[in-house]
Structure 1
Amino acid sequence: MPEIFKDKAFDVEHALVMYARSYVTMPAFGIYEDELLAPLLDQIRHCHIYIVGMTPKLDLVGVAQEGCDLITSLEVGGNRYRMVWPMPEGLTLRGDGTAGWYIEDLAGEALFPDKLMIAQRLTSEHAAFDCKVLYIGQAYGDDGSRHALDRLKKHETLQKIAVKGIPEGYNLTILMLAIEPGNQLITMFNPFANDKRQGSDRIKKGLDKLFGTNEAERTTLYEASLIRYFQPQFNKEFKNSFPSTNLKVLADCYEKDIAAVVAEICIDELPFRLFSDAVHPRPYHIAKHDLHTDEARRVFFT
């Protein structure tokens, strides 16, 4: 008998899984820039979770053309990185370090890798562009009528972080996340459990939970799970109280006897690795929380 299944209470246990399916990120000042926001609004309206973070400044310190390659020299956090960008034939480097660099095609159109593309490559190739999580919040409203941007534009904590100051060489950055609107449930079947008589009832309870949890509840559960995981400096609620039988947001999970909740940020295109004082920089984050302290109920993350 595998030791991890020995002496567990029930033969059927469930975990509720939530994950981010898309994102929008921008410098904090961008939330007040209508021109910058305009092409993103359709995507932003699906984002109910937001993360306020701190990223290193990214400086373009040199550009050159070598044949059909664009060579960029970038400085991030005191380190310099050389990047090669293959180009189609017929493109020519124009501009300078004062007026700005650009690539001109045969039709006279100006092109250049944007900061999002540069940040994505710095992260994937050099792990050189990380975002420290300072605060996590959510906005939902009635039937999803509010989104992250609505809350951020009048956000006291964001103002507080800005006023307290960001260290030299860093920028205040916003990450907005859209959570998958459907439910996901992971069910574990344990033939070695102590109680194997309630399996059918426990499967039904799990299915009831799967179809009974609405998007507003999942948004709050996702927020609370990430706060407990990252322990951000400027959050207070959920840092030490989640999970708990006293929390209203978890009442339904306990009623349906859910054993665990999981909140994931696993987006390949994210332009930085997230981290905090409690969590090392990683490309993917999975916040896993057992809802029961009894060792006989801890079956997913043992």
Structure 2
Amino acid sequence: MNNLSSTQNPITFCAQYIAENPLLLPLEELKLVAQKNEVLSDIEKTTLKEAHLFALCKSSETDPNQEEILYICECFGANGEGDIFKRLLSDPQLIEIIERAKENWPQGIFSILMLPFSHEPYLLPAEGIADEDLEKDPLIRKKIEKIQRLQVPLRRKNDMLEAALIGYFQPIYNQEYPKKFSSSLGKLLEKFAQANISAILIEFSTEQLEIKFFSSTQTAEKQVLLPFDISSKLKRNAFISLNSEPNA
């Protein structure tokens, strides 16, 4: 991956992705659905169909309205095949992680948090740019148009969102089972930097679930707005490692 330097042209925008209508389902219920023994509501079916990321969670032992995030992953397998149902029943690593969690917390209550994200990001001006400048300044309008022309494949967007969530929550099983991301992610981040985007912002609210999510490094919150700094290679490398294979 080429170096991303803060000495490039001034970076003026952040790209904000929002998780819409997150859904929390009991792990055992979801496994029954995967085995075709149970039926979900239409709303649940829609969310499961649209979600591309999920988190394995454990209910807090002291507060039933809090869930600890243990593991974050894409719904699809490494080669793009399958979905959350197939992964729950046949993905060796996910099955191993779930079994380890059950061994570590024999009385634990586990759930799966599904996160469907908006397909296109909102573009937010960085600090120092007034709203009226967005309309009047032709240079800023050009930059916006350049960003809007960026082609972000779904798998790379998922990689980016997954990496940011892992970096923020640092779930225990993501640390024990680290993922190597495709080298294509590095190329995408380079394009973002060249288009004057310095950070990805991820937002999700679980207000409607009336549940707060936390991890060993993050306190419980219902509203999460987390930054993924792509202008700092050092910060990225703290939680992202890239495969060297061009087709990874």
On whether the aligned pair clears a TM of 0.5, the verdict is yes
Rounded Cα–Cα distance in structure 2 between residues aligned with 1:9 and 1:292: 10
* 1:233 and 2:233 are equivalent in the alignment: no
Correspondence for 1:183 among 121, 140, 162 = 121
Match of 2:152 in 1: 214
1:48 corresponds to 2:42: no
- Provide TM-score, normalisation by structure 1: 0.58
2:206 is equivalent to residue 270 of structure 1? no
2:230 is matched with: 291
Q: Which amino acid aligns with 2:196?
A: D
Aligned partner of 2:70 in structure 1 is: 134
User: Is the CA contact (8 Å cut-off) linking 1:183 and 1:210 kept in structure 2?
Assistant: no
Q: Secondary structure at the match of 2:50?
A: coil
Residue 290 and residue 32 in structure 1: after superposition, are their counterparts in 2 closer, same or farther (change >3 A)?
closer
CA distance in 2, matches of 1:238, 1:256: 33
Partners of 2:9 and 2:196 within 8 A in 1: no
Out of 88, 94, 101, the position equivalent to 1:158 is 94
Alignment of 1:76-87 (within 5 A): 77=61
Number of the residue aligned with 1:149:
85
Counterpart amino acid of residue 160 in structure 1: E
Structure 1 residues 146 and 38: CA distance shift in structure 2, 3 A: same
- Provide, for residues 212-234 of structure 1, a one-character-per-residue CA deviation record: whole Å limited to 9, x for no partner: 24361332221111011001111
- Tell me, what secondary structure is at the counterpart of 1:190? coil
Could you say if the C-alpha distance between residues 211 and 274 of structure 1 is closer, same or farther in structure 2, counting changes exceeding 3 Å?
farther
User: 2 CA distance for matches of 1:17 and 1:53?
Assistant: 24
Deviation at 1:205, TM superposition (A): 3.2
Deviation sequence 1:23-50 (CA, Å, 0-9, x none): 2222222232134343232331101110
| 2:197 aligned with 1:258 | yes
Aligned to 1:36: 38
Match of 1:27 in 2: 26
Higher helix share: 2
Partner letter of residue 18 of structure 1? Y
**Percent of residue pairs bearing the same amino acid type:** 19
- Contact residue 18 and residue 218 of structure 1 kept, 8 A: no
Higher strand proportion (structure 1 or 2): 1
- In structure 2, C-alpha distance between the alignment counterparts of 1:46 and 1:288, rounded to whole Å: 23
Instruction: Could you tell me which runs of 5 or more consecutive residues in structure 2 were left unpaired when the two chains were aligned.
Output: 1-6, 131-136, 234-248
Report if the CA contact (8 A) 1:274-1:283 is conserved. Answer: yes
Q: Unpaired segments of 5 or more residues in structure 1?
A: 1-7, 57-76, 79-126, 193-198, 295-302
Question: What amino acid does structure 1 have at the position aligned with 2:46?
Answer: D
Paired amino acid for 2:12: E
Kindly provide the CA deviation profile for residues 130-161 of structure 1, in whole angstroms up to 9, marking residues without a partner as x: 111111111358xx985433433333333222
Would you identify which runs of 4 or more consecutive aligned residues in structure 1 move more than 3 Å?
A: 8-12, 35-38, 144-153, 188-192, 199-203, 236-242
Please say if residues 76 and 87 of structure 2, whose CA atoms lie closer than 8 Å, have aligned partners that are also in contact: no
Distance across 2 between alignment mates of 1:26 and 1:251: 37
Q: How many residues align?
A: 210
> How far 1:11 moved relative to its partner?
6.6
The whole-number CA distance in structure 1 between the counterparts of 2:149 and 2:177 is 25
